[in-house]
Structure 1
Amino acid sequence: METIDSAPLLTDRLHIGDCLIVLPSREVQAPGARRPARLTPKAIGVLLVLARGAGNVITRDELFAQVWPDTLPTNDVLTQAVTQLRKALSAGGTFPEGQEYIETIAKTGYRLLAPVTWETGEEQSPETGEPPVPEADGPVSSAVAPMPAAQVVADLPGQQKNRGFWRQARRRLLLAVGLLLLCSSVTMAWLLWHRPVKETALDAATADGTGVIGSPERPYRLITARQGFGTFPALSPDGALVAFADESDGGSTLKVQSTGSATSATLVEAPPEAIDRFPAWSPDGREIAFARFRRDGGCEVLVIGATGGNARRATVCDGAEMLSFNWTPDGRGLVFGSMTGSHGAPGIRRLDLATGRWTALDYERGEGDFDYAPRYSPDGRQLGFTRNPQLGAVWVMAASGGAARRVTGGSVEMRGWGWLGDDAIVFGRRVDSESRLYQVDLGSGLLKDLGVDDAQSPSVAGMGKLLAFVHRAPQFGLFRIPLDHPERKERLFASSGRDAQPMIAPDGQQLVFNSSRSGAFALWWARLGQPDSLHPVEGLRPEARQSPDWSADSQQVLVSGRDDTGQPGIYEVTPEQGQWKRLPIPVSEPLQAIYGPASNLFFVIGREGQGPVTLSLFDRAGGNWRRLAQVPGASQVRYDHRTQRVLFTRLAEGGLWSADANLSPSSFRELSGEVPSRWRFRTWAVGNDGMVTYLHQEAGCSVQMRRLDLSQAPRCLEAKAASATNGFSVSPDGDAVYVALAVADGTDIGIMPVPQTVSRPLLGVLKWLPALGKPDS
């Protein structure tokens, strides 16, 4: 619910400078304007906050808290609201864009400069509710216009008597309606007050507050209970069955089972040296499309009956990375996201299964955008997809294409999504040390945490009321792996929490990493060989999407994090002393920052509004951050001090690029055309000697190291335990790597009811129920 201020307004009209604002219609009547300007609800909310503090500086945080409560908006929504206000207030005037009304206070907020006058209620007649006739010699109120002459002439004695009768009748009618509404409100309040209180899961764990019954019931249940990995769940349209990929024993086999926790059955046997993934049910529930990947890099999309049988080929997709597809609403074709390889194409396309003909969807997209996981809404009128899922968001547009709008905020690591009816979506995203599920209402934009830990890859039954997801709760530990003898790996600072992103300092003596070992996700520091030195950096909320970066003197690290409102930022930390400060980098959404060749130079990856993610070179000399160069579409950056070159990956394609320290376009070079892949864009590191290493998974080796700077045979560092994909580091002497390995891992398929959108009450009395002292649920 949107709340601006609890204080009552004097009236619904106010004057700001020479402009009149009518609040019920959200209209701004500016002098000289041809017609009133209509404001959005958010813009009028911003105007009210500025008006109440006229002449004072209102910070961006105050505006976000009052106009966008319980949401995580980006800075650009506030900028758009202020821009609309300026245009409306200056319409027909001589000053451009209302600068004489609203002043921007750099890096702080805004200030309303024009005087504010509220129209007082005393100017309304208590008898009739109409403006009174001003006295002949008295001044005319600026808020109330004088009565027209024609109306005075018409008020003859007989007509005045009729008007008095109808006014009394109208007052009595309004009084009766008011009493009826009051009675109905009191009745509803009484019924709600005396209705049975719904017992919560926590209440059900005890017996009348005197005895223990058991653990609180979870909002979900797990329907698979086996060692291994159940991935890519897909619910049948009626919600009775779930298809998923069983990735046990190094393979991947498609299975189907009831959502009532019955034993699963194999849908189709994959041939040797092949794995099957990405099951998708047809709208009628009779067929399942899936992808088959071969060890030689080829793949094909197949369609099989829901009860098994022979599969038929829909298309080939050799070399396709990040393959994604789903059914069209009529069940006659498949819709594909952006595809790579010789059979791929940028953007979203439809494939007609009967003819094999491809049709490219005509819609707005940037040159470097990679659109993934397209899905039609249940009514078939909308099409949603994730754009650049490594650091992206969910977008929605009309099923026929055209303009798309972003419906989730922030540049985050997306972990699947699905439709919750036609007006809401559910999506998974990485946050801190886990992935969580969130619900977004498309109309209001409100975000809700579904309260499910360690959840990703949601799937919703099109005709049912069930939500399936992957439940994964791994434990990762820190390890030092000698490159000459990987079997002698050593675990560092063992704990029962989740440790990740171990970054060794250039002096080879200090280590920083992210961990949940204290119960809260935090940045930790220690000296190697001194376990007692281990401590967290208090008060800092790091972000796990990018690794910390050490300064050349091993004194400070740059860390991506967020403040108490969830806004992203870059923090410079002195970890040994536990001190930190937020850097005033002039980027609305900074995602990563690393030190450059000099103490005043920084390389920053970030996003402005809904624009592309870019890599920028900043100079902060003298406290003024100046952008010197920019590269669009970068996803991860590292600086090689030995060769004085910048290394970076891109969102739109796999591979690794280099540039000189000035980011000169003429210096761009492709170092690797295939790896790092898009999904493992953070699993590479640069050593002090210029060594560029990449960790990936191969058959028979969970952690294989590959040199990207030299033509050298890969080396297996760990045969069984998988490595984390969000960062590792190389020792200064190049003899070892510091990496997070899975100590315990596995996944199950979870099932829960689809969260129902809470309907708005018809009468305002419901919002006062919490104040009555009795819970309403």
Structure 2
Amino acid sequence: MSIPSIPSSSLPSARLRVGDCTVDMPLREIHAPGARRPRRVTPKAIGVLAALIEQGGRVVSRDALLAQVWAGTMPSDDVVTQAITQLRKAFDDERGNPRYIETIAKYGYRLLAPVEWLDEGGFAQELHAQSPRQSAGNQAAAPASAKPPRYPQSPVDVRGDWRMIAIALGVAALAFVLVLLWSLRGDRTPQAASHSAQAGETNAPSANYRLITSVPGIESSPSLSPDAALVAYVATPAGQRRTAILVQTTDPSPPRQLSHPEGEAWDSAPAWSPNGREIAFLRVVPGGDGDCKVMVLPSNGGTERVVGDCDPRNPPSFDWTYDGRGLVFGSRGTPVGGAGLRLLDFASGEWRLLDYGATADDVDFTPRYSPDGRWIVFVRNSPVGDLFRIPSTGGRAQRLTRLHADIRGWDWMPDGRSIVLARWSGSESRLLQLDLDSGLVRDMGLQDAMEPTIAARTPALAFTEARNYFGIHRVALGGRHEVERMFASSGRDRLPVIAPDNRQLVFTSDRSGEFGLWWTDLRRPDSLRLVNGLRPESWHPPDWSRDSRRLLVVGEGDGGFGLYEVTPSSGQVVRLPSPEENVVQALYVPADDRRVLMVAGVDDGPLRLALYDRRAQPWRLVSAISDVAVARVDEAGQRVLFARPGRPGLWQADLDLTAGSVRQVDAEVPEVARYRAWSVGSDGRIYYFERTTDCASALRRLGDEKPLLCVDRNRRSGPSGFSLSPRNDAIYVTLSLWDGGDIGFMPLTIQPEVVGSQ
């Protein structure tokens, strides 16, 4: 469908003042006076607001809103109410005396507040007046012999106020409204949804990119040649079962298979050399007797050669050294002992640890040399990770950001003054551009985008646009092993958790337009509903209380990001006074509601598992175990089971987390890439999913020689875990309904140098 073209010069800006609030339409953010940060609303809610603004204070009926915003769908009766409620919360509107949106009983709504369009400067002034801007700090000192990229002396906190800094104007407001409403009318198939970034539903102005791969299946892990003419990536060639390295031009064109794995080997992680002549990659044979090799081959094809060994259970991250004579690796997954990043020299075949004060608990990965070769920057301690830098010859590590984010890839801009990173938040991955001079962050307007790669000599970007749709399935254990699809929709469903009463089920889904928490009573098929007021994170499933009345959920609510306790039967959502700011997961302690277990990031250190006493205010820390990625409670065994970041295997401790109780349960399971894909039965047995040669989703019990059953031969299970019924007679798991991943490509603009902080 074509969108009507309107000259942007004749239109006001895409940002406006509604009453006392400022609204950024492309970002879907509303900033109320006195609020610490703006509140983001769903695409449907911003569509309702756009429709109300269009009518200039006139009443808009519910039927008109349904026809305009939900055209072509069959929504439930309360979707308009939910959108209005979300807008009122964002506007901080008084329910008894509304100042922004008035309800016309049994008919519709109208916008009461005056509307004023803001230009770029006016919008920035509005935000500056409402919330003090954080100082970007001073420039880092640099030798006079070279002009290095500049870094802030103080860490950059982009979790709070960066969203409130004005970004460049992207689209005119009326054009945005037309595009948005048009897109809301369109079909919502996975193929259509994948292009929503170009249809006005992004969190930023639409990006000028194109998809350069289009064959069925998943293409991922792109790497651009230095001149941006070619891209290498990972895909499964036609007629083959294992992934290989493919190369093609950055225009849509047929790819050429570059690597040729044999047997059970999988090739992955291509990285282009600085001179463009070679590509390094990993070749992994999974399994207990697996193998892992670091390989190099000419970029135009030819003889492959092995340059190093690696751990098949924990394949490493790596990149080329600045001079192209070797590779720099992350802190784990190579045969070298000790802590920290390590270098592999091709000429000698020797490995060398970099000395920068890393400890055994630090998980440092995706290292990259700066364009001038003076620095190495890497990610430390994801999924609440941040960017750190060290001199390329070694030295003290300096923290660059305070994102506390799950970073899904990053790369340098060619000028060395900014980076592009993929941040996973709220069940989606988006690309952000971080300016190292000012500390400002800009959303690049790309949905479902990860694994960014930037050409070394040309300002051009490639990335993976991942479109994976999962559905919830109930799998009966024993007997016939029936697999039943539940709650069919066109949305993406994740993280199913059955309650101890075996009646209630919760899961996360974007079926309402934005990821939310959904609850149902399995005895009543019509009971499925959204829990309003909370946007859950998708790192780990919520945790049920043993009486099946409450849930611990990590996410974004009225009180900001943090730990919430939800009563699904009533819809009550309460922010808990957790002392952990960067909480990732929370668990109830069996038979003791006074205590809670939390996995969280602590300052510059790794994730830890902590036990808190909730009776004290603030909560009292009882004990903690460092270096924990995910935990599960085994009530039958009165223990906590946990996996560690960047390491295969499983550990356990008692419920008091006493140091003497910590021991390893298994050295192989779970694998690093599947560290969340395991669960504990009510009998204390440990279940996990694995991929075998003839089954994409094989369920196995720890200690058994063979899988318990093949849940699905072709569809993979979700990476974020599954839930066992209290009687261990069924599992609730997400299975892929439609897997797709394409390589996107777009030119980049190098901003002119800015003098001073922003």
Which TM-score applies when normalising by structure 2?
0.71
Q: Secondary structure at the match of 2:233?
A: strand
| Cα distance between partner residues in 2 of 1:232 and 1:410 | 23
The corresponding residue for 1:649 is 643
Partner of 2:679: 685
Matches within 5 A, 1:471-550: 471-484=465-478, 488-550=482-544
Q: 1:330 to 1:761 in 2, by over 3 A?
A: closer
Code of the residue aligned with 1:465 in structure 2: it is P
SS at match of 1:679: helix
- AA in 2 matched with 1:286: R
- CA deviations 1:476-512 (Å, max 9, x no partner) are 1111011225752111111111110000000000001
1:425 aligned residue: 419
- Other-structure match for 1:12: none
Q: Given the superposition, is the C-alpha separation of residues 486 and 396 from structure 1 closer, same or farther in structure 2, using an over 3 Å criterion?
A: farther
Counterpart pick for 2:634 among 634, 637, 640 = 640
Kept in 1: contact 2:292–2:315 (CA 8 A): no
Match of 1:323 in 2: 316
Alignment partner of 1:244 is 2:238: no
Q: In the alignment, is the contact (CA less than 8 A) between 2:227 and 2:455 conserved in 1? A: yes
Q: What count of residue pairs does the alignment treat as equivalent?
A: 577
**Which deviates more from structure 2 when the two are superposed, residues 517-526 or residues 658-667?**
658-667
Find the counterpart in structure 1 of residue 354 from structure 2. Answer: 361
What one-letter code is carried by the residue in structure 2 that aligns with 1:68?
Answer: Q
Higher mean alpha-carbon deviation, 352-361 vs 219-228, is at: 352-361
Deviation at 1:759, TM superposition (A): 5.1
Instruction: Choose the corresponding residue for 1:753, options 726, 730, 747.
Output: 747
Corresponding position of 1:397: 390
Is 1:66 equivalent to 2:132 in the alignment?
yes
Q: Is contact 1:460–1:754 with CA below 8 Å preserved after alignment?
A: no
Match of 2:260 in 1: 269
2:528 partner letter: L
The structural deviation recorded for 1:562 is: 2.5
Contact conserved, 2:554 with 2:584, CA < 8 A, in 1?
yes
Query: Which residue does the alignment assign to 2:220?
Result: 231
1:352 equivalent to 2:350? Answer no
Q: Deviations over 1:713-734 (max 9, x none)?
A: 4532111111111121001110
Change in CA separation of 1:201 and 1:472 when aligned onto 2, cut-off 3 Å = farther
Distance 1:489 1:680 in 2: 22
Instruction: Work out which of the residue numbers 451, 456, 464 in structure 2 matches 1:457.
Output: 451
Q: Does the CA contact (< 8 Å) of 1:691 and 1:709 recur in 2? A: no
Q: 1:653: how far off?
A: 1.8
* Partner deviation per Cα, 1:685-743 (whole Å, 9 max, x = no partner): 12222222112323221112121266664532111111111121001110111011111
Q: Deviation per CA, 1:662-681, whole angstroms, max 9, x where unpaired?
A: 11111112111111123322
TM-superposed deviation, 1:345: 5.3
**Do the aligned residues in 1 keep the contact of 2:470 with 2:735 (CA within 8 Å)?**
yes
Secondary structure in structure 1 of the residue aligned to 2:660: helix
Q: What TM-score do you get using the length of structure 1 for normalisation?
A: 0.70
For 2:402, the equivalent position in structure 1 comes to: 409
Change (3 A) 1:580 1:238: same
Pairwise CA distance, 1:218 = 5.0
**How far apart, CA to CA, are the structure 1 residues paired with 2:578 and 2:279?**
49
Aligned: 1:332 with 2:325: yes
Retained in 2: the 8 A contact 1:320–1:344?
A: no
The two structures, once aligned, show a CA RMSD in angstroms of 3.2
The answer to whether the 8 A contact 1:689-1:732 is kept is no
The answer on 1:664 being equivalent to 2:658 is: yes
Opposite residue 264 of structure 1, the aligned amino acid is P
CA contact (8 A) 1:639 1:647 kept: yes
SS of residue paired to 2:348: coil
Range with bigger deviation, 334-343 or 255-264 = 334-343
Tell me: CA distance 1:222–1:379, structure 2 relative to 1, closer, same or farther (3 Å). same
- Distance in 1 separating the partners of 2:254 and 2:383: 35
Please list, as runs of the form range in 1=range in 2, the aligned pairs for 1:710-725 lying within 5 A after superposition: 713-725=707-719
Structure 2: tracts of 5 or more residues without a match: 1-126, 138-153, 156-168, 186-197, 201-205
| 485 and 201 in structure 1: CA distance in 2 versus 1, 3 angstrom threshold | farther
Correspondence list, 1:754-769, <5 A: 754-757=748-751, 760=754
* Structure 1 unpaired stretches of 5+: 1-60, 72-79, 82-196, 768-777
Structure 1 residues 745 and 614, CA, compared in 2 at 3 Å: closer, same or farther? same
Say which SS state the counterpart of residue 362 (structure 1) adopts.
coil
TM-superposition CA deviations, 1:237-271 (whole Å, max 9, x none): 00000011113553111111000112111113222
Higher RCO structure (Cα 8 Å, ≥6 apart) = 2
Larger Cα Rg: Structure 1 or Structure 2? 1
State the distance in 1 between where 2:331 and 2:739 align: 31
Q: 1:313 aligns with which of 269, 283, 306?
A: 306
Question: Percent sequence identity over matched residues?
Answer: 42
- Aligned partner letter, 2:421: F
CA deviations over 1:93-132 (Å, ceiling 9, x no partner): xxxxxxxxxxxxxxxxxxxxxxxxxxxxxxxxxxxxxxxx
Asked if the contact 1:633–1:652 (Cα under 8 Å) also holds between the matched residues in 2, the reply is no
Residues 1:748 and 1:603: Cα distance change in structure 2 (over 3 Å): same
Contact 1:671 1:708 in 2 (8 A): no
Distance 1:576 1:714, change over 3 A: same
- The CA distance in 2 between the partners of 1:684 and 1:674, in whole Å, is 13
Match of 1:92 in 2: none
CA deviation vs aligned residue, 1:338-384 (integer Å, no higher than 9, x gap): 23364565421111111212221111223211211111111111111
d(CA) in 2 for partners of 1:634, 1:294: 27
One-letter code of the match for 2:446? V
Verify: 1:294 aligned to 2:285, yes or no.
Answer: yes
- Inter-CA distance 219–607: structure 2 relative to 1 (3 Å threshold): same
Q: Indicate if the aligned counterparts of 1:377 and 1:384 stay in contact, CA closer than 8 A.
A: yes
CA 1:737 to 1:344, structure 2 compared with 1: closer, same or farther past 3 Å? farther
Whether the 8 Å CA contact 1:390–1:651 is kept in 2: the answer is: no
Larger mean CA deviation between 461-470 and 752-761 belongs to: 752-761
CA distance in 1 between partners of 2:722 and 2:397 (Å) = 36
Q: Give CA deviations for 1:37-85 in whole Å, capped at 9, x if unaligned.
A: xxxxxxxxxxxxxxxxxxxxxxxx99994243999xxxxxxxx99xxxx
SS of match in other structure, 1:631: strand
Q: Which amino acid aligns with 1:279?
A: P
Looking at structure 2, the residues matched to 65 and 702 of structure 1 have their Cα atoms a distance apart, in angstroms, of 50
Deviation at residue 535 of structure 1 after TM alignment: 0.9
Q: Which residue of 2 aligns with 1:194?
A: none
